[in-house]
Homo-oligomer: A and B are copies of this chain.
Amino acid sequence: MNAPPRISALQRTQFVTSGILSAEDVEALEAITSAPRSLRAGVDLVSEDLRTDNIHLLTEGWACRYKSTRSGYRQITGLIIAGDVCNLDSLMLPQVNFGVRTLTAATAIGMPRDRVQALAAERPGVARVFTWLAIAENVVLSELALSLGRQSARERVAHFLCEIAARLGGRGASTSDFELPFTQEQIADVLGLTAVHVNRTLKQLREEGLIVVTNRRIHVPDMAELSRVGEFDGSYLHAVPAQGG
């Protein structure tokens, strides 16, 4: 009666890690999921203002959502790491108003919008997980707005590093060590700064001993201290979906 054992590409995605879906829900989603595609760095999965009929999921690597100004400035509105949905908006909008671009080599899978919608209509769990994903994205986005609007460059960079550390899994650890495969220009595009100023700010944090940078890795000897500088409180990232009535 059991399906043949195989590694599901969905296992490490938010669909499963959210704990909302039943095994049957996961299987149903699995059935409409395309095979993994490998992507180079710097490739657009979704283009600004273009129609897409697929929901993409990143299973390996890094990507980002971004928006551009007519004058050519860019704002990254969200980092996408392995397990994240790339373009949730496409579930409801025929046309998204942001782009999705890989920052490193990456792997992605996809699901047709129509099929997902059909599944959501018949499976409350599937509907629920998408609402949850949208809300979780919202939480991160409003935290970004606070950072962009009301934090200094120093605070923003510290906050950013804390967020990455937290999302990469280190929860509550007093120290942290992770890969940060971004150029300073990309960091600048997340934080609403210039690459030059990100450089100077990172230098300052280095000189204060708050971070140690080697190659493209970051070591944080004291997460509590860095969190204090960035006014970071990771609880917003680890929220658990409320159980229904």
Residues of A with Cβ closer than 8 Å to B? 65, 67, 69-71, 73-75, 77-78, 88-89, 91-95, 97-98, 112-115, 117-118, 120-122, 124, 127-128, 130-132, 134-139, 141-146, 148-151, 191-192, 231, 235-236, 239-242, 244-245
Contacts and interface: CB of A to CB of B under 8 A. Distances in A.
A40 to B, nearest CB: 25
Given A120-B124, A192-B148, A98 B242 contact: no
Given A137-B138, A141-B142, 11 more contacts: A69-B231, A75-B150, A92-B239, A92-B242, A93-B242, A94-B239, A94-B240, A113-B242, A118-B245, A120-B131, A145-B145
Nearest to A114: B245
A92 B124 contact: no
A67 B124 contact: no
List 3 tightest A-B contacts by C-beta distance, closest first. Answer: A114-B245, A149-B192, A134-B134
B69 A115 contact: no
Contacts of A77: 142, 145-146
A88 B124 contact: no
A134 B91 CA distance: 11
A106 to B, nearest CB: 21
B146 A145 contact: no
Given A127-B120, A244-B114, A135 B93 contact: yes
B135 A88 contact: yes
Contacts of A74: 150
B128 A121 contact: yes
A117 B70 CA distance: 41
Contacts of A112: 245
A86 to B, nearest CB: 13
Contacts of A151: 69
11 contacts: A75-B149, A77-B145, A89-B135, A89-B138, A91-B242, A92-B239, A92-B242, A94-B240, A113-B242, A127-B127, A134-B134
